[in-house]
Amino acid sequence: MIIQLFAYAGIDDWSYESGVVVTKCEYDLPSLYFQIDGAWIEARGNDYKYNYNGDGTSCILFVMPMNSPMNILGMPVHVDYYTIHDPVTGLVTWAPHSNSPKGDIVKGAVPTGKTLRFGSAD
């Protein structure tokens, strides 16, 4: 996914160092969409990019390569959303908060293709 992400963005200036992906902070990375319980949750480029040295030159991605049949979702999918974690039902519900630049949550079918697409939840 990381290779496809940078190819889609037209960026070849990135590296994998000490278990993290490093790139320039100035690059505009596309939104990533994750389907959670049928709903598409958006993580914008600035949601999953972190200026780790504080000078605006080098960023790490909060999206990390894994050799696993699952991924661990964290902070990037929570940015600009209000979420409720219900311990009784085990469900997490999502909605953009009142000042969020993100649109309403859209439900959709589970994709059947193997190709990752970037830029829209269509």
Q: 45-58, pLDDT tens digit by residue?
A: 999 999 998 999 99
Per-residue burial over 92-107, b if 16 or more Cβ lie within 10 Å, else e, is bebeeeeeeebeebee
Q: Return the CATH number at 49.
A: 2.40.70.10
- 19-23, 30-34, 117-121: which has the minimum mean pLDDT? 117-121
86 domain-assigned: yes
User: The domain containing residue 58 runs over which residues?
Assistant: 2-107
Q: Would you say residue 122 has pLDDT above 50?
A: no
Between 94 and 71, the higher pLDDT residue: 94
Give how many domains the chain has, as a whole number: 1
Predicted confidence at residue 25, as pLDDT, reads 96
